[in-house]
Structure 1
Amino acid sequence: MQGFGTLMSLLNLALMLFTGFAFFDAVIRREDAFRAADKQTKPMWLIFLGLSFLVSLIFPLLSFLPIIGLIASIVYVVDVRPAVRAISGGGGPRRGGSSSDGPYGPYNGGR
């Protein structure tokens, strides 16, 4: 039975880290990118993800509330985050590069 308790503790920690990541990511994104991506508003996502994080801190994973918070966090990470990042120009190593840039700089076709 102690092994099950350890497993549940690790799952709770993973849930807290995941919902915390989703909340922090929503905090650093621009508000207008949410509207431009047609993904509700930033305050709405901050409320959902903040409540998800708080619920994961307070309630054990066997309750249904952390599962609802996990679903909200998954929706944010899988659907909303990529759309908002695409609009705000977010976060790749090739920021500011052209379409002909290779991994080590511009590709000039062997000229």
Structure 2
Amino acid sequence: MSAASFVIYAQQYILLAITVIAGVTAAVALVHAAITRPDAFTAVDAQTKTFWVAVLAVSTLLIWLVQASLGFGLMFFLAAITAVLVYVVDVRVRTDEILGRSWFRKNA
């Protein structure tokens, strides 16, 4: 195997790993948003539950359909990842604080 083909294969596997990690994260965020009470979103001054479920559903579809590639689809992939990360690091944390849930972290 030449060095060029090794680099191409390594790049493909790295992009596949990024797609799988992003897709699983998006699916978990979508499930979290779907099972969270609607009043929790308004209590933390976030968008409505319907908004977040719709955004996360579209993002999950885009992540799995477009996948991490170096073509034109990369723009849509990055937009989907950004939406998922905003939910995961901001909205999910605040709604869990309001509801007293502790997904993925230990209670102190």
Q: Same fold (TM over 0.5)?
A: yes
Q: Is the aligned partner of 1:58 residue 2:65? A: yes
* Per-residue CA distance 1:50-104 (angstroms, 9 max, x = gap): 000000111021321111011111111111011111111223776xxxxxxxx8x
Over alpha carbons, which structure has the higher Rg?
1
State the TM-score, normalized to the length of structure 1.
Answer: 0.78
**Match for residue 17 of structure 1 among 7, 24, 28:** 24
Structure 1: which 4+ aligned runs deviate by more than 6 Å?
Answer: none
- Superposition map of 1:1-111 within 5 A: 1-62=8-69, 63-91=74-102
Aligned mates of 1:38, 1:5 — CA distance in 2: 40
Please state how far the C-alpha of 1:6 moved relative to its aligned partner: 1.1
Name structure 2 gaps, 5 residues minimum: 1-7
- Number of residue equivalences: 95
Aligned mates of 1:91, 1:18 — CA distance in 2: 17
* Per-residue CA distance 1:9-60 (angstroms, 9 max, x = gap): 1111111111111111111111110011110100000011000000011102
State the TM-score, normalized to the length of structure 2.
Answer: 0.80
Name structure 1 gaps, 5 residues minimum: 95-102, 104-111
Structure 1 vs Structure 2 CA RMSD: 1.7
